[in-house]
Amino acid sequence: MLICNVVAARSDLTRIAPIVHELQRLDLQQILVYAALRDEGVQTSFEELDLSQPNALLEVEPGTHARQTASLMTAFEEVCRRYQPDLVVVTGDTNAALAVTLVAAKLHSPIARIEAGLRSFDRAMPGEINRVLADRLADLLFTSEPAGGENLCKEGISPDKIYFVGSSLVDTLLVNLDAAVERAPWRDFNLPPSGYAILTLQHPSNVESRETLAELLATLGSVSRLLPVIFPVHPPIRSRINEWDINLPPSLRLVEPLPYRSFLGLVARAKCVLTDSGAVQQETAVLDIPCLTLRDSTEVPVTVTSGTNRLVGADPHKIEESIQMIVNGSWKVADRPPLWDGLASTRIANVIADWAAARR
């Protein structure tokens, strides 16, 4: 029995790492495939999460969704023919996640989906299309919140395939939290704990239009007047800011993408976080840090119902009103979502082990 774990973004490493460790504990043979754009910072993430180097690296060049998906399908097909995996474990909602799922299905390799059933119900998002199609082809679907299973059942997927296990991303957070806070990364910016906000932007709706990005950053200038804002910005987005000659508020501090523990330490002691990332929404829900999601929808609704998350889109009034509430100390307190207890990866590994034993 050979298990092939596939990840396609740095945030997906935090989802797969504890599962890899649990599968090792159960002596299940596995390989790791990493598919992503060139990213020099990913090396640090592998080391921090105690992951060995990938057995195969599918390097993705920038291009259209069709070109990326097609090239990844071709590359992953070669990996499958070389290793002949018995189970392909896929995380995330990237083009790579869809590509490897399509290849595995056509080669009759069973598929397990991590964080299955998450839906924003916004088909304008490429990730939403990737999630729906990848889940549809999977044989084992591991959900991180109750809404995931409900969505899958509504889509006609048999409940026998669905396992509510919690969030493996949370497992990684809880294991690394003390070490991340001990680093005190806020000192690198000469800031006190709870004396700053964190901003992350990556969603196409926020960064692929000059007008939208400029208006959003201008709105965030009002935040930076109350709190310094640390903005770890990915190179493609920094290039757009420079190319489009967007004026930045002086208190908005653009920095290079941060290693996992440095970023986690900053989030854990931030006054608030502004983001369009589903992973960051999950992290703030566990850490009880106020989170303003710069989108009109979310694929992780439990962070709104149980966590400290609020959907504000790019609405200046909602953003400024929310910041005032946070500064005044009137933001709601989080209730940790069910099964976000640090044991999701153990549950996932046990299900996979039982599934593997039944197929022998």
Domains and CATH numbers, the chain: 2-166+340-359 (3.40.50.2000), 177-327 (3.40.50.2000)
pLDDT at position 41 is 55
Lowest mean pLDDT among 4-18, 27-41, 252-266, 334-348: 27-41
**Residue 188 burial by Cβ neighbours in a 10 Å radius (0-12, 13-18, 19+):** middle
d(CA 286, CA 167): 11
**Lateral strand order in the sheet of 309-311:** 252-255, 229-232, 197-199, 272-275, 291-293, 309-311
Q: Is the pLDDT of residue 104 over 80?
A: yes
Across 332-352, average pLDDT: 96
To the nearest whole percent, how much of the chain has pLDDT over 70? Answer: 98
Between 82 and 125, residue with greater pLDDT: 82
pLDDT digits (tens, 9 = 90+) for 219-257: 888 787 888 999 999 888 999 999 999 988 887 899 999
pLDDT at position 39 is 56
Q: Is the pLDDT of residue 45 over 90?
A: no
Q: Is the pLDDT of residue 43 over 80?
A: no
Q: Are 228 and 197 in contact (CB under 8 A)?
A: yes
